[in-house]
Amino acid sequence: MSDTLSAPQRSRMRSFFATALKFWTGKTRLRAWGLTIVVLVFVAAQIATAVGINAWNRLFFDALEKRDVAAVWATIAWLPLLIAVSALTLSALVISRMLLQMRWREDLTRRIAGWWIADQRYYRMQFTAREQSAPEYRIAEDVRLSVEPLVEFAIGLISAAVTAATFATILWHVAGSAHFVLGGADIVIPSYMAIAAILYAIIASLAAYFAGRPLVGRISAKNEAEAQFRAEMTRLRENAESIALIRGDADERTSVGENYGRVVAAWLGVIRQQGVIALVLNTNGALFPIVPLLLIAPKYLSGEVTLGAVMQVVAAFSAVQAALIWFVDNFVRLAEWFASVARVDELQEALEALDVGTIMEGETQISLGESEDGAIHIENLSIAHSNGRVVIADASVVIELGEKVLIVGESGSGKSTLIRALAGLWPWGSGRIEVPRGKSIAFVPQKPYLPMGSFRTVLLYPQADLPVPDDVVVAAMKRCGLAYMAKRLDDEDRWDQILSGGERQRVAFTRLLIQKPDIVIMDEATSALDEDSQNSLLGLFEGDLAHATVISVGHRVGLEEFHDRKITLEKRLAGAHLSSRRLGKSLWRLFRSRNSANDDAA
């Protein structure tokens, strides 16, 4: 556990507790303190029950030693009550402990998950903190592993401290002092059993500490390897079709094998270290019941104590031992707990760095504002990667209300990055973007997101609760080529796995037709459709969605016919240069598009 003593790790502990302890200081403080008090009451009741059972042991064995049948039965008569009280207090302690764990985990999860999701940090972190693998695992699993054991540790420590003090007092009074002659001198050691218990616990704890101090780092490495392996398997599942089509099975099998090899190597390090710790713990386990018997035996043989006193002393010594070597018994769990704390705090650190980085950018950050004239204004806009490399340099353009603009350029010129900046997802750069005040904006990516739920929920997303009549939804589906799905409108399924790329893009246009946004920003939104389907859907912007301002990224033939202007991004070393020109419309293409729209509607 030497890792816990270094400055960076002490800082991790402080950072973690600064967030975690808000459960007792924030809005949830009444619930937190109420549950804490209940837990402490049952801890005290459990210790009191243990003291009662210890006293019962003395009475019972004294009665046996005296062969007093009446006293034996009288003592046994108390046993059901002691067992019932013990069972009830332990059960109540377990329930109250689990409630405290659950509520604390709920609070911490809400804080960190909310922080991660808010302001698109979950999106931006992939550019600024690539080393933070599987943040969802840290939130779902490491938060649990950092909270649940901590409650048990706190209860264990409090119980251990009170138990040690209580039973040490019993040892003091029952075992008395040790008397022996050494070199003609009469030596008296007061409360020798309590002193022996403390010395034994110190020796056992130091042995466990030095045997297991490298375990924290090895468990942390193991957890990281497990998370990376899980992320690799998730990536494989999410890209299953692409991998299968290009016969990438062999490469993926090799990659998965290499990733799991790292998991195995990390586990072997943990196993080796736990073997050393097990040697210490098993040695302690063998000595644990013997030491108090050896220490009290001389007094029993001399007649100074009764058999009942011996049993009481042994039980009290064991209780003090169990309390004082709490650290030894929980060393492995402490190491695992700290590894999870470190991973949770690493995520917090990445989120803090993301926020600080955004704040420190100050005037160099892309400024977002509102325009008063209904137009979209891009003024002196320079867009950079998070590492500072400029993608688009000093771009200025005004997109008028209702105008249809096509953005083109070679790969890597920054087309999609410009869309992200318009969406407010990309803060790195300088300049200003203004969008019309009070206008609704819809973003249509190349692969639209399909949420869990009914097909109606998918079509209305992200306004699933919007009261839209069935006839409006079905009409929109027919216009966008999804008429055959009308009978499944209220079916729930994994639509993201069922629908093809083209169907997903039809879903996106159906959403536009239902929601009728004022501004539509599209990124390769028709790339999975055939040309006739593309023409039919883009024809919406000449009819039902003619009022909308459209900004579209694309490179397919025929797109120009549905736009008023083309903006070209010319790739340069110092950042892409923006140029703009007006487009004319082909009457024949417009006629075909409208005919196709009429056919779909029919």
Task: Check which CATH number belongs to the domain holding 249 and give it.
Answer: 1.20.1560.10
0.75 surpassed by pTM? no
* Same-domain check for residues 386 and 318: no
Question: Is the pLDDT score of 6 beyond 50?
Answer: no
* Same-domain check for residues 473 and 333: no
* Same-domain check for residues 183 and 270: yes
Any idea which residue has 């992320």 for tokens? Answer: 231
* Same-domain check for residues 342 and 484: no
Instruction: Find out whether 589 and 531 touch, Cβ atoms under 8 Å.
Output: no
Question: Is the pLDDT score of 527 beyond 80?
Answer: yes
| Proportion of the chain above pLDDT 90, given as a percent | 13
**Looking at the domain assignment, is residue 412 inside a domain?**
yes
**Looking at the domain assignment, is residue 2 inside a domain?**
no
pLDDT band of residue 217 (cuts 50, 70, 90) is: confident
pLDDT band of residue 333 (cuts 50, 70, 90) is: confident
The structural domain count of the chain equals 2
* Same-domain check for residues 405 and 302: no
Average pLDDT over residues 72-93: 86
Any idea which residue has 């609704």 for tokens? Answer: 440
Instruction: Find out whether 166 and 197 touch, Cβ atoms under 8 Å.
Output: no
* Same-domain check for residues 447 and 511: yes
184-211 burial code (b ≥16 CB/10 A, e <16): eeeeeeebbbbebbbebbeebbebbeeb
Q: Are strands 185-189 and 453-454 parallel, antiparallel or unpaired?
A: unpaired
pLDDT band of residue 600 (cuts 50, 70, 90) is: very low
Q: What is the mean pLDDT of the chain?
A: 80
Question: Is the pLDDT score of 239 beyond 90?
Answer: no
pLDDT band of residue 223 (cuts 50, 70, 90) is: confident
User: CA-to-CA distance for 356 and 350, rounded, in angstroms?
Assistant: 10
| Secondary structure of residue 467 in the 3-state scheme | coil
* Listed range (28-42, 116-130, 372-386, 439-453) with the worst mean pLDDT: 116-130
Q: Which residues contact 587 (CB under 8 A, 6 or more apart)?
A: none
* Same-domain check for residues 383 and 528: yes
Average pLDDT over residues 87-115: 89
Choose one of 323, 358, 393: the last residue of a domain: 358
Instruction: Find out whether 349 and 15 touch, Cβ atoms under 8 Å.
Output: yes
Domain around 347? 14-358
Burial (CB < 10 A; 0-12, 13-18, 19+), residue 558, is middle
Residue 411 main-chain phi, psi, to 5 deg = -60, 135
